[in-house]
Amino acid sequence: MSKKNSILVVEDEEDILELVAYNLRKEGYQVTCAKTGEEALHITRAEMPNLIVLDLMLPELDGLEVCRYLKRDPQTQHIPIVMLTAKGEESDIVAGLELGADDYVTKPFSPKVLMARIRAVLRRRQRGEIGPEQIIAVHDLVIHPGRREVLLDGKPLDLTFTEFGVLHLLARRPGWVFTRYQIVDAIRGEHHAVTERAVDVQIVGLRKKLGAAGAYIKTVRGVGYKFQE
């Protein structure tokens, strides 16, 4: 089986580990399993899987630490990570996404939902991120980064500097969940201070100006926002 289909599952609960591994193999992936953070790091560096399903509640070295190590290492930072989290652990979800994780699924979870999330992450990685100057067209919405212009039904929208920055950031990585802090960090400039609370205000204003197209901007409760058709 091709290396591109290899997935590492990191989970210390045997039942969940077997459930995830079974469903992945059924989908045609090559699966490797790890039960500790240390084992996950060793396997990742040795085998370089195409994706990692990472439980956050691990003994000793927890999932957030594993994520931090992998995203700091130039050799492994490109490997996408889908986190498994206990229901309601919003702070851990936010922390994981800000460390560079690609998506998350909360426990208890549906195997079908997890498989769909994994396929979506792999598709996004294969397509690659839209370049910073590349024109983005989604149905009747067109974003011109070079001109800092947004057209809706062929007519220009009057967006503020920050509104344009938020929209362009989200639209460049469709399906990607951004925390409020990540949005602030990406768009704030020397003369344009933005706070996490202000991000919500910007989103409200953006949706209003976009009209029906504002539905492309989805709220991920307790975490942040994403752009999705």
pLDDT over 90 percentage in the chain: 50
What pLDDT score does 4 carry? 53
How far apart are alpha carbons 155 and 34 in whole angstroms?
53
- The domains found in the chain, sorted by start residue, are 3-127 (3.40.50.2300), 136-227 (1.10.10.10)
Nearest to 223 by CA among 93, 103, 85, 102: 93
pLDDT tens track for 39-73: 999 999 999 999 999 999 998 899 999 999 999 98
Contact 140, 183 (CB under 8 A): no
Contacts of 40 (CB under 8 A, 6+ apart): 8, 10, 34, 52, 54, 58, 66
Q: For residue 209, what pLDDT is reported?
A: 94
Contact at 8 Å (CB) between 101 and 67? Answer: yes
End-to-end CA distance of the chain: 33
pLDDT at residue 206, rounded to an integer: 93
SS3 at position 149: strand
Query: pTM for the full model?
Result: 0.72
Percent of the chain having pLDDT more than 70? 91
108-141: pLDDT as tens digits: 889 999 999 899 888 877 765 566 678 888 888 9
Is the pLDDT score of 38 beyond 90?
A: yes
- Mean pLDDT along residues 176-186: 87
From 129, 135, 132, 62, select the one nearest 102 (Cα to Cα): 129
